[in-house]
Amino acid sequence: MEIKDLTIKGEYKGDEKLEKRISNFQSYIDLLNSRDLDNDVIDAINSSIDELNNFEGSKRKFKLRLMKVRSQVVRHVEKQSKLVPQNYYRKLWLALGMSVFGMPIGVVFGTSFGSMAYLGVGLPIGMAVGIAVGASMDKRALKEGRQLDIEISS
C-alpha cells in the first residue's frame, strides 16, 4: 500500500511560502513511501492527505490546515513507527526545556535572591538544557536509522 500524493488546487498556487511548505510536505511523504510502514499508519496518512486534497476555503485557511495536518502526520508517524525528521526532538525539547527546566530554575533564582525579576534567568538555561536533550535524542535516532533525511520547516 502506498501513501497518496498531494494534489493542490490551482487557487492555492502563487504563494511562494505556501508552495515551499507543500513541496516540503510532499518530500516528507515521498521519504515515507520509501520506508516500510504499517497499513494502519498509511491509512491514517492517506485520510489526512484526502482532507487536504479536498479542502475548500481561502488560501489562509488552507495554509493553517496544511500546517495542522503536517504536524499531525509527523506526530502519528513518530508514535507508531518511531520515524522522525531531522531536528525533531531538538525542536520539541526546546520548548519543553524552557517550561520543565527553565521555569523551576527561574523560581529558585527568584526566591533565593528575593525578587521574582530573576524568573527570566531560568528560561535560557532551560532552553539550553532542552536543546542538549533534544540533540542527543536526534543523534540516537540517527544512529538507530530512525531519522529521515529531511527537516520539516515551519
Predicted confidence (pLDDT) per residue in 78-102, tens digit: 999 999 999 999 999 999 999 999 9
The number of folded domains in the chain is: 2
Within this chain, do residues 29 and 47 fall inside the same structural domain, yes or no? Answer: yes
Within this chain, do residues 75 and 115 fall inside the same structural domain, yes or no? Answer: no
Does position 154 have pLDDT exceeding 90, yes or no? no
Within this chain, do residues 41 and 99 fall inside the same structural domain, yes or no? Answer: no
DSSP states along 76-87: HHHHHH--B-TT
Last residue of a domain, one of 29, 51, 81: 81
Q: Is residue 20 part of a domain?
A: yes
Angle, CA 94 vertex, CA 141 and CA 37 arms, to 5°? 35
Which one is predicted more confidently, 57 or 133? Answer: 133
Within this chain, do residues 67 and 125 fall inside the same structural domain, yes or no? Answer: no
Q: Is residue 5 part of a domain?
A: no
Q: Is residue 24 part of a domain?
A: yes
Does position 111 have pLDDT exceeding 90, yes or no? yes
DSSP states along 91-137: HHHHHHIIIIIIHHHHHHHHHHHT-GGGGGGHHHHHHHHHHHHHHHH
Angle, CA 31 vertex, CA 73 and CA 49 arms, to 5°? 35
Grid cell at residue 51: 482532507
Within this chain, do residues 17 and 69 fall inside the same structural domain, yes or no? Answer: yes
Query: What is the model's pLDDT at position 25?
Result: 94
Calpha distance 31→68 (Å, rounded):
19
Last residue of a domain, one of 58, 81, 104: 81
